[in-house]
Amino acid sequence: MIQDSAEEWSVKHVTKKNDAVQKSEPRNIVHDFYEKFASSSEAGSDLLSKFAKEHDERFMLLCSPLAPVGSYERGGRDVIRSVSAGSGCGVPPLRTEEGGRSTMFMVSNRQMWSEKFSMSRSAGENHTNMCRMTYEQVTRHEVYDVSESESEEEDAVPLPIGSPAPSETSSITASENEEHILAIEADSRRVKAYKIAMELLTTERSYVAVLRLIDQIFHFRVDQENRAHNMFPQEMIPQMFSNIKSIYQFHHEFLLPQLEARMTNWDQEQKIGDIMKNFAPFLKLYTEYVKNFDNAMNIISALAAKNQRFTAIMDEIHRMPECGNLTLSHHMLSPVQRIPRYELLLKDYLKKLSDDSFDKEDTKKALHLVSTAANHANEAMKKIDKFKQLLEVQEKISGAVDLVSPTRELLKEGKIVKISARSGDHQERYLFLFSDLLLLCSSRLLPAAYRLRAKFWVEGLQVLEGDNLETANTFYIRDDHKNVELYTQTVEEKTSWLDALCVAIEELYKRKSSFKLGTKCSSPVDAQKPPNYIKMDCIHKCMDCGGSFGVMKRKHHCRACGSVVCGKCSNQKYPLPFEDNRLSRVCRPCHQKLLQQRSASPDRNDSDAENMTTSFSRGKGLLEVSADAECVLSGYLQLKTNKSWVRRWFALHPDFVLYSFRSHTDQRAMTATPVPGYAVVKVSYCKGESFGEKDKVFKMYHTKKMYYFQAESPDVVDKWVCALQMAAQAELPSS
């Protein structure tokens, strides 16, 4: 059936092979037909019909499945007529129902532009404007012309001569392509598996070099020097290096040679699973090493700090090229990290093996054994990661502080700004907060390098709210010897640092709860009558945890024993009879005793159990004050800063604290400054300062800080000076 929309005419002819024909005949017949088609003005269908009748025998030759073209033999399938704009002719053989071949001859009614013949094995595309017909249909002229517009829409794809029909080709080509793709994927997986095996060998060589450094250089040298100079008891040598010699011998004499031999003969034996399966049980050697690691680090750190000869030996070895500028502590991390590395490599290797690989089962067994050994080291690895952080920080500060400690952990680090106490300059700093230590550093010219400026122990550290009126987000860190004023760029950063510092302090005292400092509640607790309260003015440290009181650590009375404690040590409540059974603040020792007494009491009321364990929630911060809160005096004032005058809303509260806000609608204060201790005066003359209207200016100052304020009128100045002078004396103005 011929469609009207067809652009090209096709001829299908059933042929048989003629063994006596010349090899050049297929090319000649195509060339002859092209010359007639190009020079004739007849319709393509008429011309094709006449040519087919005149050259019947030649057409039968052309349809032979083994007909050669030129010097190429393609089984009669792969000759392509290539012409510009899609015009061309082709003779692809098609299978008949009887199993033979027929030919599709395509002709265009447009002039051909080229005589170029090309060879291809690809199957021809089935065009929508192509119609197929048998030889009989051609002789009956059952073909029609197609419109020029339709022929131009799809006219750029040449049709192969001698190719299978598209319906047949699709099934043949699909199966061949699928087999080809599977073969490519299999080759790719084998290449990747080989690369992983090579990575295992390469890392094993590097690892054995590290083991040799630890055992044959560090271990041997320390043992030799200790025998000669008796630096410490000889029993400490095994505690320092554990069973590193056994681990080194296992890898150097057994595992590494086996891997090298296998990779050398990889073409004959492409597997490593059997080697790892056979040697995986020996990885239990690492259990002893990992368990002893913390103890070894403690001994090495202690000797390095106290024994000069030991330190000199370490420094001498560290300068050796094979050390790579790394310390013994760095190198001793390698055995702990090696088993997880085996596990990762075997997992990757197993993924690249095909399902029918002869190495798959051995690799699975090896992976199971290695994973079992790795599980024993996982807990130690968590500690090692923290330990590695300590070493990195220690390198950043050029070893100014020995940070190696099994109980130390890096909690937080980041940039911060310090306000100089002498000049008031703002200086960029970098903080490292550990579980027991706080380091304040400054940047050096080298990248990621810092210089230690100050060191604070978390035990005894005080964190105080800032009182700087000019700069927002300030706070103080203080111990018995130093006091540093810091600030952050945002409120969120400040809150994050304060929270981290408070958590570090709290966790430290929890760890030290077994040997609490300060006076404890030793007297018996009598819940029936009030205690004798200790005067708060005489107590400067918490009587439970020993922490110093300050702005961030307030004083509280235990309502059961009368001792003075901080909020964290008295965050429990208990219903006391002499308080009409209201929930009252009690310290931790009293709370425990009261719970024990209540549990032993025969008339215990279980309904109060919830009340007994209720704890205080953390109160609001010092700056969590709204601008419209009740106050003694408030209003807008101009504050002189380093750059210019800044307009702010100020409020003096009954607790003698002067708060500043950006506007009178703010719900949180920018700064809070306790006024007691300051002097407040009007400005008449100030050397080096010039003010336009001196009667509207006053200042508040003490030995280290000075603030200038400007009001709208002299009357407002008088009100503020009077109120602030009384607040400086801890007095409130009379109503």
Do the bridges between strand 160-161 and strand 79-81 make them parallel or antiparallel, or are there none, so unpaired? Answer: antiparallel
> Which band of pLDDT confidence, cut at 50, 70 and 90, is reported for residue 14?
very low
> Which band of pLDDT confidence, cut at 50, 70 and 90, is reported for residue 599?
low
pLDDT at 588: 83
**High-pLDDT (> 70) share of the chain, %:** 68
State the Cα–Cα distance between residues 691 and 683, nearest whole angstrom.
Answer: 9
Mean pLDDT across the chain, nearest whole number? 74
* Chain CA centroid to CA 298, Å: 31
> DSSP label at 284?
G
Q: 43-52, 301-310, 556-565: which has the minimum mean pLDDT?
A: 43-52
pLDDT tens sequence across 242-258: 999 999 999 999 999 99
Closest to 7 measured CA to CA, from 209, 152, 156, 177: 152
Q: Which of 136-145, 200-209, 320-329, 572-581 has the highest mean pLDDT?
A: 200-209
Higher pLDDT, 234 or 294: 234
pLDDT at 185: 77
pLDDT at 248: 94
> Which band of pLDDT confidence, cut at 50, 70 and 90, is reported for residue 58?
low
State the Cα–Cα distance between residues 62 and 654, nearest whole angstrom.
Answer: 113
Q: Amino acid identity of 70? A: G
pLDDT at 434: 92
pLDDT tens sequence across 101-126: 333 344 333 333 333 333 333 333 33
Q: 3-7, 325-329, 630-634: which has the minimum mean pLDDT?
A: 3-7
> Which band of pLDDT confidence, cut at 50, 70 and 90, is reported for residue 22?
very low
What pTM, to 2 d.p., does this model score?
Answer: 0.41
Residue with tokens 């590193």: 244
Q: Is the pLDDT of residue 538 over 50?
A: yes
| CA-angle at 497, arms to 492 and 500, nearest 5° | 125
pLDDT at 99: 43
Higher pLDDT, 594 or 366: 366
pLDDT tens sequence across 85-104: 333 444 444 344 444 433 33
Higher pLDDT, 669 or 535: 669
> Which band of pLDDT confidence, cut at 50, 70 and 90, is reported for residue 132?
very low
Higher pLDDT, 145 or 232: 232
Q: Which of 68-77, 201-210, 714-723 has the highest mean pLDDT?
A: 201-210
Contact yes or no for 242/232 (Cβ under 8 A): no
3-class secondary structure, 428: strand
* Chain CA centroid to CA 218, Å: 35
- Mean pLDDT over 508-527 rounds to 57
- Interacting residues of 577 by C-beta distance below 8 A, sequence separation 6+: 527, 528
pLDDT tens sequence across 419-436: 988 877 889 999 999 998
**N residues, the chain:** 735
- Mean pLDDT over 581-603 rounds to 77
Q: Is the pLDDT of residue 278 over 70?
A: yes
Instruction: Kindly report each contact of residues 523-527 with a partner whose C-beta sits within 8 Å and lies 24 or more positions away, as own/partner.
Output: 523/561, 524/593, 525/560, 525/561, 525/590, 525/593, 525/594, 525/597, 527/560, 527/574, 527/576, 527/577, 527/578, 527/594, 527/597
Q: 127-136, 427-436, 617-626: which has the minimum mean pLDDT?
A: 127-136
Q: Is the pLDDT of residue 403 over 80?
A: yes
Higher pLDDT, 149 or 669: 669
Q: For residue 2, how many C-alpha atoms fall within 13 Å in the half-sphere facing its CB?
A: 20
pLDDT tens sequence across 155-198: 444 444 444 444 455 555 666 777 777 778 778 888 899 999 99
Residue with tokens 């005080």: 462
Do the bridges between strand 633-640 and strand 645-652 make them parallel or antiparallel, or are there none, so unpaired? Answer: antiparallel
Q: Amino acid identity of 407? A: T
pLDDT tens sequence across 202-240: 999 999 999 999 999 999 999 999 999 899 999 899 999
Domains of the chain (ranges; CATH) run 183-380 (1.20.900.10), 408-515 (2.30.29.30), 523-595 (3.30.40.10), 633-729 (2.30.29.30)
pLDDT at 468: 82
Q: Is the pLDDT of residue 579 over 90?
A: no
pLDDT at 19: 46
- Mean pLDDT over 397-426 rounds to 85
